[in-house]
Amino acid sequence: MKIHVCSREQAAETAAERYVELLKRKPNAVLGFATGSTPLSLYRELIKRYQRGELSFRQATSFNLDEYVGLDSSDPQSYRSFMNKNLFEQIDIPLERTFVPSGTNCSAESAAEYDAKIQAAGGIDLQLLGVGRNGHIGFNEPGTSFDSLTHRVQLSRSTREANARFFHSIEEVPSEAVSMGIKTVMNARSILLFAQGEEKAEVIQKAVYGPVTEDVPASILQLHPFVELYLDPEAAKLL
């Protein structure tokens, strides 16, 4: 694991370089994206660089980590809407090559198709991750098998509480999601994980130094050959 401790802005700038390098070397790269608060500074930086002509996503394909069950792609709270608004509509990636798990067709077949599509695209070159306070990556909550592929998941109370800030109340936060599995994530050729704020410090310490255990899904990243962590000083304070 390579660990960068720096400001949010510096993290966005350094990580954006990874995208510039990758897309220069491989214009049709496959990118794994995340939602939530953490990636927003990176997305703003990618948009800025696209506007300056420093990178193009014209030939790229993307796969998002997860989607809430029950939310149609047109729902403003869906992760599809989040990605369209915060990234896709502001860069040149063709929308038809951006994939987000379906929140309305959540059958096992549809989940398997998502993994098959990733494979058919050649696998994910660069996967972006945030981390939940309980160690989830994607929406793989503690206890999820390290062998999991894309699947339907039950969200924990703490995850729903953490995400209630995007809704009017916790009752509105869906209780289930469809998420890439841990194996799907680990199959990515390289991974960038961002974490910011003191509330992530404990889980970052466990993920980096703790035992590799399904109780802390992010701990599996210790076994991946190309992982970079971008932490602000608060998230890194227990390292």
Residues in contact with ligand F6R by the rule CB under 6 A: 34-38, 65-66, 130-132, 136-139
Of 67 and 125, the one with the shorter C-beta distance to ligand F6R is: 67
168 is catalytic: no
Catalytic residue (one of 141, 151, 163, 187):
141
141 is catalytic: yes
Of 56 and 238, the one with the shorter C-beta distance to ligand F6R is: 238
Catalytic residue (one of 45, 64, 115, 136):
136
Catalytic residue (one of 134, 140, 163, 187):
134
Of 21 and 172, the one with the shorter C-beta distance to ligand F6R is: 172
Q: Do residues 90 and 55 make contact, with C-beta atoms less than 8 angstroms apart?
A: no
Residue 65 C-beta: closest distance to ligand F6R, Å: 4
CB < 8 Å & 24+ apart, contacts of 201-206: 201/234, 201/235, 201/236, 201/237, 201/238, 202/133, 202/238, 203/131, 203/132, 203/133, 203/134, 203/135, 204/131, 204/229, 204/231, 204/235, 204/236, 204/238, 204/239, 205/238, 205/239, 206/135
Of 59 and 222, the one with the shorter C-beta distance to ligand F6R is: 222
Residue 122 C-beta: closest distance to ligand F6R, Å: 22
136 is catalytic: yes
Residue 233 C-beta: closest distance to ligand F6R, Å: 17
The residues near 121 (Cβ < 8 Å, ≥ 6 apart) are 30, 61, 63
Q: How far is CA 95 from CA 56, 72, 91, 153, 180, in A?
A: 14, 16, 10, 26, 20
134 is catalytic: yes
Residue nearest to ligand F6R (CB): 130
Residue 18 C-beta: closest distance to ligand F6R, Å: 18
Give, for 127, the enclosing helix (H) or strand (E).
strand 126-129
As annotated, the active-site residues are: 66, 134, 136, 141
